[in-house]
Amino acid sequence: MFPKESGVRQAEIVAIGNEVVSGLIQDSNSSFLSLRLQSVGVNVTRMTAVGDDETSIRAVVQGALGRVDIVVVTGGLGATHDDITKTVLADMFDSGFKKDEQVAKFLQSFFEAKGREVPASVKTQWEVPIAAKVLHNEKGTAPGLLFERDGKKLYALPGVPLEMEYLFDKYLQPELASSSEFGIWHRVLHTTGISEADLWTRIGPVAPLEEFVTVASLPSHLGVRIRLSAMDKKTEDAGARLQAAENRVRSKIDDCIFGTDDETLEGKIGELLLQNKQTLAVAESCTGGLIGHRLTGISGSSEYFLEGAVTYSNQAKHRRLGVEEELLDQYGAVSREVALAMAEGIRKTAGADFGLAVTGIAGPTGGSAQKPVGLTFIAVSDANQSECQEFVFHQDRGRNKERAAQAALNLLRLRFVNECR
């Protein structure tokens, strides 16, 4: 993101563990560390995963130390047979071991509180490399370690996320922040309802943005995130550059942006409904309650979300929403006409200001030449008007459901956006 020539300190992250490289667990530690290191002005240039193998660990760590001044290693500090990180690192730094009395005292208190003796295997945790500074861990049994040589630092942290995060906040964050000349700040713009290609066609060349920030385009099946990043010595200066870049992007695609940073689409819907003192009810078929789940994931959603109905069968659409059987027979459950009737039906029966409805063919079966898999109709209704949009999603069943829920929430958001114009 920011080259060494920029003056920003560079770091690499190494995740150690057979369970990581085999895919049995997701490496959330590296994501956490990258974001937090950047917050203290350290640019992460590489993240690597390696198994519990001495030769592999040695090669990866030596390579990282040859490229950057800060290396953060996670995992392999436990007391089981495959936790070899401490031994490998001690050997790399030509270090013997000694007993750390503070670690020993903590472990004895830790197990006494459980009414147990310290297990023999765990006693190895108080044997620490002489060459390392011990990073005392009050959240678990494995202490962290800091090795230093030739102006380079290697931090070894436990793989358990709770313990790793605790040690980062206790030791790494204050130490690195106090010696930081630069800071790195980000702003993420969340878009939906537009492809990545169409998005950048509307924005135009990236060069004018790069006068202020660096830019990354991060597509997913739910939308495209645009990450703007600024490096500076002062928060205020970086903030001004981020704002200038954001303003330029918004001048081109403001209608596609639903939030920034940690904001969510369902959270934005809640804000809009609260601001306008309006309520919402949802009728779902192919999404199976996913829209209601997202809406009720927001604290305080009971102020505006009245009701959600999963009307999966034709009978449910007729009984619960009042969709006429003749309409279902003539057009089929997956149709514009039925989607509109569902939205109007849930709005009226729930007594809500808005009714939102989804009906479609999520797949992988159920499609036909006339109505292919992925065909989805989404309708929104209020007292003044009802509208429906047709979509054809082309992914697996789970993603088609997620995309339908996203499109439904965005259709409601756009109703507010268009009314404000």
CATH number at residue 288: 3.90.950.20
Q: Please give the average per-residue pLDDT across 43-56, as a whole number.
A: 96
Share of the chain above pLDDT 90, in %: 88
Q: Are residues 73 and 170 in the same domain?
A: yes
pLDDT of residue 80: 87
pLDDT of residue 69: 95
Q: Are residues 256 and 317 in the same domain?
A: no
Q: Are residues 255 and 325 in the same domain?
A: no
The better pLDDT of the pair 184, 31 is held by 31
Q: Is the sign of the CA dihedral 163, 167, 169, 173 positive or negative?
A: negative
pLDDT of residue 225: 97
> 378-404 burial, b if ≥16 CB within 10 A, otherwise e?
bbbbbeeebbbbebebeeebebbbbbb
pLDDT of residue 183: 80
Q: Are residues 213 and 282 in the same domain?
A: no
pLDDT of residue 4: 58
**Domain termination site, one of 147, 178, 209:** 178
How many separate domains does the chain show?
A: 3
Q: Are residues 168 and 190 in the same domain?
A: no
Write the CATH number for 207.
Answer: 3.30.70.2860
Q: Are residues 18 and 160 in the same domain?
A: yes
**pLDDT tens column, 188-226:** 999 999 999 999 999 999 999 999 999 999 999 999 999
**pLDDT tens column, 68-84:** 999 999 999 998 888 99
pLDDT of residue 97: 96
pLDDT of residue 184: 84
Q: Please give the average per-residue pLDDT across 295-310, as a whole number.
A: 98
The better pLDDT of the pair 122, 411 is held by 411
Residue 232 has pLDDT above 90, yes or no: no
The better pLDDT of the pair 96, 421 is held by 96
Q: Are residues 255 and 219 in the same domain?
A: yes
Q: Are residues 379 and 326 in the same domain?
A: yes
Residue 349 has pLDDT above 90, yes or no: yes
Confidence of residue 360 (pLDDT cuts 50, 70, 90): very high
Domain that holds residue 67: 4-178
Q: Are residues 317 and 168 in the same domain?
A: no
Q: Are residues 158 and 198 in the same domain?
A: no
Residue 403 CB partners (closer than 8 Å, separation 6+): 221, 222, 391, 393, 395
Q: Are residues 247 and 272 in the same domain?
A: no
pLDDT of residue 420: 67
Residue 6 has pLDDT above 70, yes or no: no
Write the CATH number for 105.
Answer: 3.40.980.10
**Domain termination site, one of 121, 143, 178:** 178
pLDDT of residue 178: 86
**Domain termination site, one of 178, 204, 233:** 178
* Mean pLDDT for the chain overall: 95
Q: Are residues 238 and 136 in the same domain?
A: no
Residue 86 has pLDDT above 90, yes or no: yes
The rounded distance, in Å, linking the Cα atoms of 174 and 152 is 17
The rounded distance, in Å, linking the Cα atoms of 176 and 80 is 31
